[in-house]
Amino acid sequence: MSEEHGISEMLDGKVIHAEMKIGDSFVFLHDEFPEMGALGPAARGGASASFCISVVDVDKSFAQAVDAGCMPLANQFWGDRSVEGFFVEFDSRL
């Protein structure tokens, strides 16, 4: 079973963030934003999906990735602590 959990739109009507809950998991969606590198499959010429993995202690969970060369975590304006990657993003709620 799925349910809409919220949609945030820009003034021009583009969806900057939409949430769906499927079972016990959330799926986040948005429109293309070429100026931010957020492209769909046609514009990218291939897959354009990414995954966000929410964990209880993002600092502890991410330390191993940083030791392996990943970028460090940062507090984001939307209320999460995360590092954004091209295909995978880790975060936890502040």
Shared-domain flag, residues 60 and 93: yes
Answer whether residue 50 shows pLDDT above 80: no
Shared-domain flag, residues 55 and 81: yes
Query: Is 0.75 surpassed by the pTM of this model?
Result: no
> Residue 39 sits in which domain range?
1-49
- Exposure on the CB side of residue 91, measured as CA atoms within 13 A: 18
DSSP summary character for residue 84: -
Shared-domain flag, residues 71 and 39: no
Q: Return the amino acid letter for 1.
A: M
Give the Cα separation of 55 and 62 in Å (integer). Answer: 9
Name residue, tokens 């995978």.
88
Tally of domains in the chain: 2
Residues 60-78 have pLDDT tens digits of 877 877 887 877 777 877 7
Looking at residue 77, which CATH number applies to its domain?
Answer: 3.30.720
